[in-house]
Every structure is written in C-alpha cells, then in structure tokens.
Amino acid sequence: MRLLITGGAGFLGSHLCDRFLAEGHQVVVMDNLITGSTANIEHLAGDDDFRFVKQDVTEYLYVEGTVDAILHFASPASPIDYLELPIQTLKVGALGTHKTLGLARQKQALYFLASTSEVYGDPLVHPQREDYWGNVNPIGPRGVYDEAKRYAEAMTMAYHRYHGLDTRIARIFNTYGPRMRLEDGRVVPNFIAQALRHEPLTVYGDGSQTRSFCYVSDMIEGIYRLLSSDEVEPVNIGNPQEMSIIDFANLVNEITDNSAGLVFEPLPEDDPRVRRPDISKAREVLDWQPAVSLEEGLRTTISWFEERLTTGRPDNEGAG
C-alpha cells in the first residue's frame, strides 16, 4: 500500500512509519513540525519508499498519485502543547480531519483516525468501554483537545455513513517510549527527565489519581491490526494495567536510583481522576493485548532518555 500519515514526524507517527516501511509499504509523511521533528524520521531519509512533505493539514491538501490509506495522527497531544496551542489543536481536529477525510474520499482510500482516551474526559464509568459517552467539560482548558477529538470522531462517522467511506477509529490511551520529548509535559517523560537529573519528581495532587501506560511497540501493533480489520466503530487501544501516579513515581525513582524523592503541586483543572481502558473489544476483534511489561518498557525508555541527556542532542519534538 501507499499510505499518507499526517503527524508522521511525531512520536507515534514516526514509529508507524518504521512499521509500515518494514512491512514493504510506501509512506508519505505530512507534518508542519509545530510539535513534530525531522529528528524522528531522519533515519528514513534515504529510503526510496519514504517521502516527507512539510505542510499544515488544515490547509488545502494535494498528494500526487495513489493513496491507499490515510492515517490522521496530526495534533498536539500533550497538555503543555494543546494549552499553548489551543486554536491550532481545535483546527487540526476539525479542519484537519475534514481535509483529510475529503482527500480519502477523493482517493478512495481507507481512513484511520487517531482519537484518544480524552474523549472520555474525567470518567464516571471505570474502566472505560467504547460505549461510554464520556464526561467532558467543553469550556475547560482541556476542552480544546477533548472536544477536537470528539468532533473528529463524529466527522469520521459522518463520512462513513453518508459517503460510505471505509474508516477506522482508535481511542489511544497513555503511550510511552523512545522519541517522546524530554519536556513533553506528560507524566512519563516528566518523571524520567527529573529522575535522570536527580531532581524530586513533581506529583500533582496527592498522587492517588490513576493512569495506565502502554509501551509504544504494543500500541503500534494494535494500530496496525485495527487498520487491517473491518471494525468501523471506535476501539480502545491501551494497557489495562492501572496504577496510581504516586506508585508510578516511586517506580521511576527506584529504576533510576533517584533518591531526591517527590514534591507535590496542585492538581490541574479537569485532570482525570482515573484512566483505564477496557480492551475487551480489542482482544475479541483484533486478537490484541499488550505484551511489554511496565518495568521492561520503562527501562528501555529510560535508557533512550539517558542517551539524549548524555549526548546533549536537541530535545526531540514528537507529540504525534
């Protein structure tokens, strides 16, 4: 296949490039680099099956030749990014989704939307199943991301129902691994960067809020299987192993031998209290579940961050 990956210079997008190229496909990446970086894809520069186009997907889109599938991963994805770039976040979720859906219709291409667990907001149902409609504050600071993705899902399903477009929707839960940015703003790079600098880890609130962490190779496998499936409606992809933030902080300190401890700051507005995917549907439809343990994935990720800090290479941009 020949695939277009928007946001392909980001964290998840760049790993998808690696996977699809390894499977023998051709990949065109479109990214405006506001949160992505060519550092994530520089190793692909000499590959004849790879092409990079610097472009904002909210503008007019043109891709020469055949496109068999479009994977829409363009969007700021960390709280720091979408709080600093609220209008761009809304535009890429609305206009970017509309433009890429229109291109998919024109090219008669399969369309894959990277949605998010944030569509569930601060959930009142736990764990979160795909049939839960969510608890989102549309005018809160996080609403720019949450509602952009909820709108993107609605638009994708409208194109499927009205135009008969073949579509897929992945609700992606917390993912971590190499190529995340040191200053990403999400809990995994935050904790690792602080631990490697022998600083106390910043815990928001009392640390009792929970998260579930999926290693990037598991996430890419889930995405690949969903794209290859016939499932049209949303599918949760994430790791159902849940732990409190304070336990996670202590684990990072333990692995890195960081004795600086923890510091506590006020909980951000609308920060979800719990987050855990119900992946029954992914197990049944995709025959998929995570294979990498949290400790194994963390050790690999910590080694990657350690190398970045040691060599002094510029921080990777890569929110995906």
Q: What CATH number is given to the structural domain containing 137?
A: 3.40.50.720
- Same domain, residue pair 103 and 245: no
In this structure, is residue 67 part of a structural domain? yes
Binned at pLDDT 50, 70 and 90, residue 209 comes out as very high
Q: Which residue has the tokens 């631990």?
A: 195
Q: What is the pLDDT of residues 11-60, one digit of tens each?
A: 999 999 999 999 999 999 999 999 999 999 999 999 999 999 999 999 99
The verdict on 135 and 53 lying in the same domain is yes
Residues 153-160, mean pLDDT to the nearest whole number: 98
Q: Measure the CA–CA gap between 155 and 147, rounded to whole angstroms.
A: 12
The model's pTM:
0.94
Give CA angle at 185 (252, 40), nearest 5°: 90
| Both tokens assigned to 20 | 């699809």
Residue 298 covered by a domain: yes
Q: Give me the mean pLDDT over the 271-293 stretch.
A: 95
* Beta-carbon contacts of residue 17 (< 8 Å; ≥ 6 apart): 5, 8, 27, 29, 41, 44, 50
Q: Do the domain assignments include residue 285?
A: no
Whether 226 contacts 170, CB under 8 Å: yes
- 77 and 191 part of one domain: no
Per-residue pLDDT at 317:
42
pLDDT given for residue 315 in this prediction:
52
Residues 6+ apart with CB under 8 A from 171: 115, 116, 117, 119, 120, 130, 234, 235, 236, 237, 238, 277
The answer to whether the beta carbons of residues 251 and 213 sit under 8 Å apart is no
21-30, 144-153, 178-187: segment of lowest average pLDDT: 178-187
| 225 pLDDT above the threshold of 50 | yes
Does residue 167 form part of some domain?
A: yes
Residue 312 pLDDT class (50, 70, 90 cuts):
low
Task: Give the tens place of pLDDT for each residue, 242-266.
Answer: 999 999 999 999 999 999 999 999 9
250 in any annotated domain: yes
CATH number of the domain that residue 245 is part of = 3.90.25.10
- Determine what percent of the chain is predicted with pLDDT higher than 90: 90
Residue with the bigger pLDDT between 238 and 309: it is 238
Query: Do 105 and 78 share a structural domain?
Result: yes
Residue 286 domain flag: no
Mean pLDDT of 112-140: 96
Q: Distance (Å, rounded) from C-alpha 237 to C-alpha 33?
A: 25
For residue 89, is pLDDT > 90?
A: yes
The span from the CA of 245 to the CA of 104, in Å, is 40
Q: Does 45 lie in the same domain as 61?
A: yes
Does 36 fall in a domain? yes
Pick the more confident residue, 207 or 182.
207
Same domain, 122 and 257: no
- Percent of the chain past pLDDT 70, that is, above it, reads 97
132 is catalytic: no
Characterize 99-122 residue by residue with b for buried, 16 or more Cβ atoms within 10 angstroms of its Cβ, and e for exposed. Answer: bbbebbeebebbbbbbbbbbbbbb
Same domain, 143 and 260: no
Instruction: Tell me how many domains the chain contains.
Output: 2
Do both 202 and 86 map to the same domain?
no
The pLDDT of residue 313 = 63
Catalytic annotation, pick one of 82, 111, 145, 176: 145
> Are 153 and 270 within one domain?
no
DSSP 111: E
Please provide the average confidence, as pLDDT, over all residues in the chain: 94
Both 261 and 221 in a single domain?
no
- 127 falls within a domain: yes
Residues 21 and 170 in one domain: yes
Domain span holding position 124: 2-175+215-237
Residues 201 and 221 in one domain: no
